A and B are shown apart, each in its own frame.
Chain A
Amino acid sequence: MKSRLVAVPIAILVIAALPWLLQTPYWRGILVLCAMNVLLALSLNLVLGYTGQLNLGQSAFFAIGAYVSTILVRTYGWNFWAASLAAVAAAGLLGLALAAFAVRLRGHYLAIASLGFAVITYQVLINWEKMTEGVRGIYGILPPVASTTGLFYLVAGIALAVYVLIDNLVRSPVGDTLRAIREDEVSAASLGVNAALWKAFAFGLGAAIAGLAGCFYPGFVGTLVPDAFNIIESFTMMAMVIVGGMGTMIGPVIGAIVLTFLPELLRGFGEFRLMIYGLALMLVVLFMPGGIVQAWRTLARSR
């Protein structure tokens, strides 16, 4: 308990200090991206890591958050915060819709169903041109906070708050319920757990958080195109969770940080950048199944 009380202020200090360590607009931009990825990884970890649901469609909720908030601001003149609230709600609702499938499907079936969900969302965004401008894209989107540092503080602050929220959730009886569903759904049901309800909860909350991350994305890039949400993004999110350590709290955070900074640091390698990335992904999965967190713990123990 005590270590947790100390951890939060330390995290706040680290977050506050980062923009002073990395002072250029480029690296500060990467910090914002990193904070968004942490949110996404946390959201997916809730569904995948703690509830054990093979969800490959998280990019759909990210997309909904981005598009709904942007359209409400641009076309209907809402203010950013109201629009974001609506976008988060929309993403959450969509998450519940996916949960309706999750109730009856397991394993690879759920994986492909969620993938299909993401593809359909992506296709709707491309084809419903009246609403979304389709492949032409929406340009000149302003972030809610003008300075990059400010935006980073905002998103990182939200990520920290979400982390604390999920951490508390996971330590509560709700967490036990989710873990029970992950380990053995049938036995859990025999103990009186309403698996359907809790799966819906996990999906909905995970989707809402991903949608929240999505609200900040268009303002950060300035440009919103559907291609930013193709299904490859789902795989990247999943990689973050797994590389960091699925089913732990700090794992997704580490995974998000590593997989945000790694491609940037590899930029010097030019054409070999993505080859190295693919190879690294393979090796981590093969040799560090519990992710970086497990490797760290094993190392710590062996001392």
Chain B
Amino acid sequence: MTDLLALIVQQSVNGVYLGCLYVMVALGLTLIYGVLNQINFAHADFVTVGAFAALFTATRLGTKVLGLPDTAAYLLSMVAALGAGALLGLAINAAVFAPLRDRGDELRPLIATIGVSVLLENFQLWLFGPIPYQFDSPFSRETIRIGRIFFSAQSVLVVAVSAMAIAALYAFMKFTFLGKALRAVAQDRETAGLMGINPNLLIALTIVIASALAGVGGALLGPVLVLTPFAGASVIVKAFAIVIIGGFGNMQGTIIAGLLVGIIEAFTVQYLGSGLIDLVVFVLLLVMLVVRPTGLIAERKEENV
């Protein structure tokens, strides 16, 4: 392998890994938007809570109390993170989205979730302090090498779990009754209600699923991120950009956009300098909005005139 080719392949691998990282955060956001037309600004903070829940479950509960081997403890921690995320989803639905739903307002729930985000971040700051925590999973210290290309075992785990989650979600949406009902609610809430589907229940379910996804994302990303209460803030804005570039509410688009952003970030670091990452990504975002405002994979949505 020539040097240049190896470099390009390696940065591409880095980019895919980075992309999957972002996709794990963005996917839940897009789910919520798809069914509710709302942005949850506190979503990335759910990821942080998931990460902390996983850390303490793996180290305190799993290893010390239950005496589990590392891998089992880590798997247990993923379950705990999923639970934590689900609980947060329930809470934010009950506190913010359900009460504000019928007003058809785009802005107020967004501001309310900003309040939730500030609250969550500072609550965690009070609980955990600002010093970064060391979260090691059994996979995060293993490096896999194929020829001259390297990547960490954790990155394989991230890609694998996100792929599984996406596949599961897709199957759920397409083949189960509940999934079809969710899609109905996303398309036209009133009519779905008339057909005997309880939209409020389904919306609550979606938010819980999306937040649980965020929680698991935290368990996967904990060993990768610099784990402080502000970890979420470091990824939220890019996650928004990905949701837009991919097309609000569009799962396939979000995945492609996430991978694209990851790869662009890796190559920007290589050739332009890492200080310019945000600039490049957001210029891309604006270009996207000019050229193809509905996102990469346009889903035709009828606008009520």
Contacts and interface: CB of A to CB of B under 8 A. Distances in A.
Please tell me whether chains A and B touch each other in their complex, using a CB distance cut-off of 8 A.
yes
Interface of A: 48, 54, 101, 104-105, 107-109, 111-113, 115-117, 119-120, 123-124, 126-127, 186, 231, 235, 238-239, 242, 246, 271-272, 274-275, 277-283, 285-286, 289
Contacts of A280: 115
A289 B108 contact: yes
B19 to A, nearest CB: 19
Contacts of B99: 286
Name B's interface SS.
helix
B111 A242 contact: yes
B119 A116 contact: no
Given A115-B237, A274-B122, A285 B112 contact: yes
Contact of B107 (A54, A271, A281): A54
Interface of B: 33, 37, 39, 95-96, 99-100, 103, 105-112, 114-123, 125-126, 237, 240-241, 243-244, 248, 275-276, 278-279, 282-283, 285-286, 289-290, 293, 305
B286 A113 contact: yes
B275 A126 contact: yes
The 4 lowest CB-CB distance pairs between A and B, nearest first, are A278-B118, A281-B115, A278-B119, A282-B115
Nearest to A135: B275
A237 to B, nearest CB: 11
Nearest to A230: B237
6 contacts: A108-B248, A242-B111, A281-B114, A282-B116, A285-B108, A286-B96
B41 to A, nearest CB: 9
B289 A113 contact: yes
A186 B103 CA distance: 20
Name A's interface SS.
helix
A127 B126 contact: no
B114 A239 contact: yes
Given A123-B282, A286-B99, A289-B103, A277 B118 contact: yes
A245 B148 CA distance: 60
B119 A279 contact: yes
A104 B286 CA distance: 12
Given A123-B276, A239-B114, A116 B96 contact: no
A275 B103 contact: no
Contacts of A119: 237, 278, 282
Contacts of B282: 116, 119-120, 123
A104 B276 CA distance: 28
Given A275-B122, A282-B96, A286-B100, A109 B289 contact: yes
A303 to B, nearest CB: 26
Contacts of B108: 242, 285, 289
A275 B119 contact: yes
A117 B39 CA distance: 18
Contact of B275 (A109, A116, A127, A281): A127
B117 A278 contact: yes
